[in-house]
Amino acid sequence: MTSATCLTGIRIWDGEELSDADALRFEGERITAVGDARELVAGATEIDCQGATAIPGLIDAHVHMELNPDDRAPPTRSDAGIYPHMRERARSMVEAGITTARDLGGGAWYELRLRDEIASGAIPGPRLICAGQPITCVGGHCHFWGGEAADLAAAEVVLQRQLTHGVDLIKVMASGGVMTRGSRPLAPQFDVETLSGIVEMAHQHGRQVAAHCHGTEAIEFAARARVNSIEHCSWVGPEGWASDYQDTVAALIVEHGAHVSPTVNKGWQRYLDNPTGKILPRLRHAYEHMLAKGVRFIASTDAGIPGVYHKDLPKALPVFAGISRMTNEQTLASATSTSADALGLSGTTGRLKPGLAADVLLVDGNPLEDLTALATPIGVWSRGRSVTPASGVCASP
């Protein structure tokens, strides 16, 4: 049985711009019409949403469903006992309005099982696209997840193992990281030839590549290797975090078509609260220049790392806007339409358009004027299913 739902009296931001329409109709999993309420309500359950704004469900382009944000110790091998917690994290995300997330690494493919359970409708959660075990160098960042490779031939073995398990994309650790003892964020883990070989293999199998990059040299190598997204893009140099932004490397990112997923979580508010510290001006310099060069950002949080909760993308977006100085509309696009385009999901989600999934976040007020409105959703639909009922705030006739 599919019944139609029609949200009326709403302001609609469709993923790119404010629409003239005042109603959104969906049926089953899909949006069927965006238009004039008088024409769309017939035969549908009407939900009157005066004063509210509908936007596409949010996309977090970098999460780790497996990781527990309350665990301060470095992660180790994966343990089957974590699975029920992963389900809880998925539920908390979709209730917060995150209807899609890209998982960029785990050790035992539990997140793929979670992906399939959510897709079947058995449990609530965001649509997941998953990378499985990241390819890393021997002893490299997150080596404990099992993806170590000494050279391109060994990387192919790791990549094939991920394909066998049914991953949606490939993750590669192009630089060292913070969470792994003995690993240095500044240092590249693979040369350009090896990275290019990994990207070619993945693309031959129809899979995108996301590259973890802190140091500037690794960012450059990844851009040259034509990865699809550069994660973190921290511009780490000899002088520390965000100290080594280079215009020529930003130009390479644009020229080779990569998106940048800067993993700005809500905790970065600490930089905004400390304008005389050295990090905020460095970040602003890098973001301002990247934007001027035409770099396309996709919103992400690295949820799962210590203190970064899976449901908090809506609270991270005002911080992302504050640091990058993007407009609210640019920031919202980075978490909806631009992200869907980057992840290969533009035919699925990311916009409020007929034919796409009914992934809808309803907020009180206008997030184009105030992004903090995102933190208190009054309704969420994930593939047409109501997650937190809009009734009680929006009046049903």
List 48, 66, 302, 359, residue binding Zn ion (CB under 5 A): 302
Degrees, nearest 5: CA angle 285-291-296: 135
Q: Which is nearer to Zn ion, 168 or 302 (CB)?
A: 302
Query: At closest approach, how far in Å is the CB of 104 from Zn ion?
Result: 5
Alpha carbon distance 239, 217 (integer Å): 14
Q: Return the range that interacts with Zn ion (CB under 5 A); candidates 19-27, 48-56, 301-309, 373-381.
A: 301-309
Query: At closest approach, how far in Å is the CB of 303 from Zn ion?
Result: 9
Degrees, nearest 5: CA angle 187-189-192: 105
Query: At closest approach, how far in Å is the CB of 380 from Zn ion?
Result: 25
Identify the H or E element spanning 337.
helix 337-342
DSSP symbols for 174-215: -B--SSSTT--TTSBSS-HHHHHHHHHHHHHTT-EEEEEEEE
Alpha carbon distance 55, 44 (integer Å): 20
Cα four-point dihedral sign 224, 342, 127, 318: positive
Number of chain residues interacting with Zn ion (CB under 5 A)? 1
Residue owning tokens 């060994």: 154
Q: Which is nearer to Zn ion, 309 or 381 (CB)?
A: 309
Identify the H or E element spanning 276.
none
Tokens of 203: 């693309």
Tokens of 355: 């034919």
Q: Return the range that interacts with Zn ion (CB under 5 A); candidates 35-43, 166-174, 295-303, 322-330.
A: 295-303
Alpha carbon distance 7, 394 (integer Å): 9
Q: Which is nearer to Zn ion, 223 or 305 (CB)?
A: 305
Q: Which is nearer to Zn ion, 61 or 394 (CB)?
A: 61
Q: Return the range that interacts with Zn ion (CB under 5 A); candidates 33-41, 116-124, 145-153, 294-302.
A: 294-302
| Binding string, residues 250-289; x marks residues near Zn ion by CB under 5 A | ----------------------------------------
Query: At closest approach, how far in Å is the CB of 370 from Zn ion?
Result: 29
Tokens of 310: 């899976």
Query: At closest approach, how far in Å is the CB of 372 from Zn ion?
Result: 26
Q: Which is nearer to Zn ion, 22 or 302 (CB)?
A: 302
Query: At closest approach, how far in Å is the CB of 177 from Zn ion?
Result: 8
Q: Footprint of Zn ion on residues 72-101 (CB under 5 A)?
A: none
370 and 357 Cβ atoms separated by less than 8 Å: no
Q: Return the range that interacts with Zn ion (CB under 5 A); candidates 16-24, 131-139, 296-304, 341-349.
A: 296-304
Q: Does 244 bind Zn ion (CB under 5 A)?
A: no
Q: Which is nearer to Zn ion, 5 or 175 (CB)?
A: 175
Q: Which is nearer to Zn ion, 31 or 210 (CB)?
A: 210
Q: Return the range that interacts with Zn ion (CB under 5 A); candidates 109-117, 234-242, 299-307, 321-329.
A: 299-307
Alpha carbon distance 285, 237 (integer Å): 14
Q: Which is nearer to Zn ion, 69 or 379 (CB)?
A: 69
128 and 65 Cβ atoms separated by less than 8 Å: yes
Closest C-alpha to 290, from 348, 336, 230: 230
Query: At closest approach, how far in Å is the CB of 102 from Zn ion?
Result: 10
Q: State which residue has the least CB distance to Zn ion.
A: 302
Query: At closest approach, how far in Å is the CB of 359 from Zn ion?
Result: 23
DSSP symbols for 85-152: HHHHHHHHHHHTTEEEEEE---SSSHHHHHHHHHHTTSS---EEEE--SPBB-TT-TTGGGS-B-SSH
Alpha carbon distance 33, 28 (integer Å): 13
Q: Footprint of Zn ion on residues 116-135 (CB under 5 A)?
A: none
Query: At closest approach, how far in Å is the CB of 269 from Zn ion?
Result: 20
Q: Which is nearer to Zn ion, 229 or 349 (CB)?
A: 229
Q: Return the range that interacts with Zn ion (CB under 5 A); candidates 134-142, 293-301, 302-310, 373-381.
A: 302-310
Q: Which is nearer to Zn ion, 11 or 171 (CB)?
A: 171
Residues that bind Zn ion (CB under 5 A): 302
